[in-house]
Structure 1
Amino acid sequence: MSAGGGTKAIVAALLANAGIAVAKFVGFLITGSSSMLAESVHSVADTSNQGLLLLGQKTAKRKANIEHPFGYGRDRYFYSFIVALMLFTLGSAFALYEGIHKIQEPEALSSPIVAVVILVVAIILESLSFRTAIVESRLIKGDVTWWQFIRQSRTPELPVVLLEDAGALFGLVFALIGVGLATVTGDPVWDAVGTLMIGVLLGVIAIILIIEMKSLLIGEGATPRELDLIVDELAAGRIERVIHIKTQYIGPDELLVAAKVSMTSGLAVEEVAQAIDDAEHRVRAKVPAARLIYIEPDLDRSTAATS
């Protein structure tokens, strides 16, 4: 994926959430709906989150230096991890607190039709944002399932935006159900139930993101498909076998490859150097993210021991 990391999807989500947050707060002030308040805080959190994702993309572009010789690519993982934490604390925790509070002290809604109209409009806007994230993700998703894409993607922004937008859509539906039932039955407890459902939903999404972003932040290797391609391209030409290999993503667009290889015997130093250069070119042609490649010629002692 390009260094943009789904910038179009992030910006679309930011603009949609900023507008929706204002509308929801107005709706809460008019109706007093706890579901509307929870959704307002949720939209504010999402807007802040998209800002953090854009900040991470910007800081990750800083050039490598003596202190950070491999660059700042992991900034994108760090800010995505912060986004997951914010979604949990600002979104889920607040909604759960507000839902429990409103169950204990229910308050009747005023002008619920205002909340319904705002929620319907918000669902339409959020659907457009979600569609943009899906279109951007399909460019790099390949033939894996959406769940596999979220679990396996080494680019953090699009999985984050996808889950955020999905959570926002379901959250709006839960809020609409809560407000609707509270209006039809005259029992404001349903509004609080909708708020609790929003809190649980955001909590589940936040935990998934925390787990995935923590894994990326610590350092993940190449995907199984990428590793197979790398090994196949290394073990060609005058390289007979890959003895040992380790990989790690040091940024969404930069993969570090370190390998020990067994080479054809009797090669001159110049031939060894050329064989290594050729191997690097082959690997980068198949896995463009493999920008840093270190190849060490070595003896294949396992073969020597059995001969």
Structure 2
Amino acid sequence: MQNTSHDAAGGGSTPAAPALSAGGTRTGSQKVIYAAIAANLGIAAAKFIVAAVTGSASMVAEGIHSAVDTGNELLLLLGERRGARPADRRHPFGYGKSLYFWALIVALSVFSLGGGLSIYHGIAALRSPPPLEDPLWNYVVLGVAALFEGYSWNVSRKALNAVRRPGTSLWQTVRASKDAAVFTVFIEDSAALLGLVIAAAGIALGHYCSNPYFDPAASIVIGLLLVGAAFTLARETGGLLVGESIDREQLAALRALFARERALDSVASLRTMQLGPDEVLLAASVQFRRGMPIDEVEQAIARLQSAIAAEHPAIRHVYFDAAALRAALH
């Protein structure tokens, strides 16, 4: 358990009330990842087998998609484990951002391997489309894949719903989420389910119209879908990696907390940075009442720290502007 500290004029630190454990949240995130790995591994093998039998270009694209997703989930699991390492001398704020780094690698993987290979394979198949074969096994595998992907998607959806605020949509919850493991799996699985629909439509239209070009065209559309998903993931994880703040509602609640402290004259700024899914740094620039005795200043800081720990347990590090503390003592 990590103590909260403040930057005083002398550079010391004062322990605050301990932050609540986030172990339950991280366990939930890992459950989402394991569910996605199990689903995608089996689906990828089935898709490639059927693609080899039927020659379907869209099934090859779907197989590539599921194989890439399996690798991506393993990278997220690596990020989870590296991010859980305790702080040390070289990383005094811990390794929480490791998850954001690996989630960004996942986004690049979806773009290059998932989207790029699917588009390339579709274009190659358009130049020389394979003959139409009996689509029965394609439909069987797509149906089974939809069940597995739907299960994995539902696990990630439940994890998002657990932190979803009343009146907000699921997409707004994804945008507000700081847990890259959960929203990455959700976005990947959402793209996977849409890809299955596109693949099925391409195969069905090809056989209905006796036109072999619909199937490779579906492969290209799937690739473009994955490129869009990759850009979405890169935008979300990139913002977290470079130091995204907590959202406006949380910041407003934090300002209200400081406003309740009678020892403060004003609050100039509250700057926050997400250090990991459940870890936030707060730098508070405040003005204490002038002429306060040092013991009253310390008591006010202790009250603020205790209130922050109780109402915002993710805020593990609190630093107060040393200039404001010096001003209060003169």
Same fold by TM (over 0.5)? yes
Match of 1:160 in 2: 184
Deviations 1:25-70 (A, max 9, x none): 1101110101010000100000111111111110001111111111
Q: Which of the residues 135, 157, 176 maps onto 2:158?
A: 135
Match of 1:8 in 2: 31
Indicate the percent of aligned positions where both proteins have the same amino acid: 37
Deviations 1:145-179 (A, max 9, x none): 22222222111111111111110001011111111
Q: Give me the whole-angstrom Cα distance separating, in 1, the residues matched to 2:180 and 2:106.
A: 11
Q: Give me the whole-angstrom Cα distance separating, in 2, the residues matched to 1:210 and 1:109.
A: 37
Q: Which stretches in structure 2 are left out of the alignment for 5+ residues?
A: 1-21, 326-330
Match of 1:274 in 2: 299
Match of 2:10 in 1: none
Match of 2:252 in 1: 228
Residue type matched to 2:315 in 1? A
1:214 deviates by 0.9
Q: Give me the whole-angstrom Cα distance separating, in 2, the residues matched to 1:112 and 1:299.
A: 72
Q: Which stretches in structure 1 are left out of the alignment for 5+ residues?
A: 301-307
Match of 1:246 in 2: 271
1:4 deviates by 3.3
Paired residues of 1:64 and 1:70 also in contact (CA < 8 A) = yes
Paired residues of 2:61 and 2:117 also in contact (CA < 8 A) = yes
Runs of 4+ displaced beyond 6 Å? none
Question: Are 2:229 and 1:205 aligned?
Answer: yes
Paired residues of 2:160 and 2:170 also in contact (CA < 8 A) = no
Paired residues of 1:18 and 1:47 also in contact (CA < 8 A) = yes
Match of 2:61 in 1: 38
Paired residues of 2:28 and 2:159 also in contact (CA < 8 A) = no
Q: Give me the whole-angstrom Cα distance separating, in 2, the residues matched to 1:71 and 1:171.
A: 38
Match of 1:71 in 2: 94
Q: Which of the residues 159, 164, 171 maps onto 1:147?
A: 171
Paired residues of 1:61 and 1:73 also in contact (CA < 8 A) = yes
1:37-56 mapped onto 2 (5 Å cutoff): 37-56=60-79
Between the two proteins, the alignment pairs up a number of residues equal to: 300
Deviations 1:103-159 (A, max 9, x none): 111111333211111111111221111111111110012232222222221111111
Paired residues of 1:5 and 1:155 also in contact (CA < 8 A) = no
1:205 deviates by 0.8
Match of 1:81 in 2: 104
Paired residues of 1:5 and 1:57 also in contact (CA < 8 A) = no
Question: Are 2:197 and 1:176 aligned?
Answer: no
The structure with higher relative contact order (CA 8 Å, sep 6+) is 2
Residue type matched to 1:193 in 2? A
| Partner SS, residue 96 of structure 2 | coil
1:5 deviates by 5.6
